[in-house]
């Protein structure tokens, strides 16, 4: 099989590193270039210890990204939104399948950007044509899109936990509350006093309450799943660990729904999805089983009796750097280029025990 040339822009951040490792082992891909100003001149082998052909690649300057991308079938942009805003539309117009890992093209409503991303979107017309790359929910639009907006890590875990409830009208729309807890890699690799070891270790806190940039993204995804506007309360928390997101969703059962049918409803909804596993209860969901993989595990509990009759609790777990970023980007790349969706992802594993 002839391998397709692919590049990574911004390859020295956490998501870029993870994407490099995955694509270096992808049997259908030739990793053609990696760019990073931070590591310019070093090789992939120097930085990541990869020994075969991908390891011989030298990191190029970011200013060469567009030039290097011209001969590629697809490019992953592991760059800040400001960089993706300029580069992604240009690459897509040249016929390069572009998977953007930033938030630059995730929202359909350009009016949300000033409040949540602190900039006025310069290309609102590109938002309409960008596919939202959450395959389990919106697969049909990914293959035909030139620009694919890779979802955020929190929206991935939250949307997969809530979507079956909304699609099958199992809960009251107005009752959805999401608490999600992430490891520190979710904030990227930049230096920040609040993310230093001394500040994070032995602590646990909420942050950006009611103003987190992933809130409108979650709202849009859930509204699309339901086919009607869905109000949502979302709170992010910072865990003193490196990676992983545990999301806990609370909602109220709709009048016609039965508690005993929920787990089976989720299993049926995700029956053909290779990366989503529905477990017997929320107690079985943990980060250790998903970190290092492209998996999402989900558990559901509900009871019509008890102290809060009709309350539904759904817990999901993902690795924020894999299913929440680089792994999902490769899943989207596989769809975009016609590869089997599990290629280079099925055998990813964590390091426990």
What positions carry a catalytic annotation? 153
Quote the CA–CA distance of 176 and 251 in Å, as a whole number. 5
Are the beta carbons of 150 and 101 closer than 8 angstroms?
yes
Are the beta carbons of 229 and 172 closer than 8 angstroms?
no
Quote the CA–CA distance of 8 and 21 in Å, as a whole number. 11
Q: How many CA atoms within 13 Å lie on the side-chain side of 70?
A: 4
Those residues with Cβ within 8 angstroms of residue 146's Cβ, 6 or more apart along the chain or in another chain: 92, 93, 95, 96, 97, 98, 129
Those residues with Cβ within 8 angstroms of residue 185's Cβ, 6 or more apart along the chain or in another chain: 14, 242, 243, 320, 321
Quote the CA–CA distance of 233 and 219 in Å, as a whole number. 9
Residue 179 DSSP label: E
Are the beta carbons of 102 and 79 closer than 8 angstroms?
yes
Report in angstroms the alpha-carbon separations of 202 from 196, 198, 286.
12, 9, 19
Beta 147-149 vs 97-100: how paired, if at all? parallel
Q: Please name which of 181, 340, 314, 210 lies closest in space to residue 259, comparing C-alpha atoms.
A: 314
Q: How many CA atoms within 13 Å lie on the side-chain side of 342?
A: 9
Are the beta carbons of 26 and 50 closer than 8 angstroms?
no
């Amino acid at each position: 099989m002839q391998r397709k040339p692919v590049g990574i822009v911004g390859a020295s951040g956490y998501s870029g590193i993870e994407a490099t490792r995955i694509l270096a082992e992808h049997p259908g891909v030739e990793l053609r270039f990696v760019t990073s100003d931070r590591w310019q001149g070093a090789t992939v082998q120097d930085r990541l210890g990869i020994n075969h052909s991908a390891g011989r690649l030298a990191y190029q300057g970011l200013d060469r990204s567009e030039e290097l991308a011209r001969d590629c079938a697809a490019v992953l942009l592991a760059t800040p939104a400001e960089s993706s805003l300029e580069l992604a539309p240009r690459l897509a117009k040249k016929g390069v399948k572009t998977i953007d890992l930033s938030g630059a093209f995730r929202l359909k409503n350009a009016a949300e950007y000033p409040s949540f991303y602190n900039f006025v979107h310069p290309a609102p017309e590109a938002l309409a044509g960008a596919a939202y790359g959450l395959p389990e929910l919106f697969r049909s639009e990914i293959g035909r899109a030139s620009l694919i907006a890779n979802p955020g890590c929190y929206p991935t875990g939250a949307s997969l936990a809530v979507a079956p409830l909304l699609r099958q009208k199992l809960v009251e729309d107005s009752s959805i509350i999401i608490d999600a807890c992430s490891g520190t890699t979710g904030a990227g690799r930049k230096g920040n006093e609040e993310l230093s070891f001394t500040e994070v270790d032995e602590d646990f806190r909420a942050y950006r309450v009611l103003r987190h940039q992933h809130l409108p993204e979650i709202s849009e995804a859930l509204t699309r799943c339901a086919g009607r506007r869905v109000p949502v309360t979302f709170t992010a928390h910072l865990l003193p660990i490196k990676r992983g997101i545990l999301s806990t969703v609370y909602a109220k059962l709709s009048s016609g729904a039965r508690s005993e049918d929920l787990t089976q409803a989720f299993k049926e909804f995700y029956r053909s999805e290779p990366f989503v596993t529905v477990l017997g209860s929320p107690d079985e969901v943990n980060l250790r089983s998903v970190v290092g993989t492209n998996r999402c595990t989900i558990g559901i509990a509900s009871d019509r009796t008890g102290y809060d009759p009709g309350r539904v609790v759904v817990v999901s777990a993902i690795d924020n750097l894999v299913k929440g970023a680089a792994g999902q980007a490769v899943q989207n790349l596989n769809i975009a280029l016609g590869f089997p969706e599990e290629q280079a992802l099925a055998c990813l594993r964590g390091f426990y025990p």
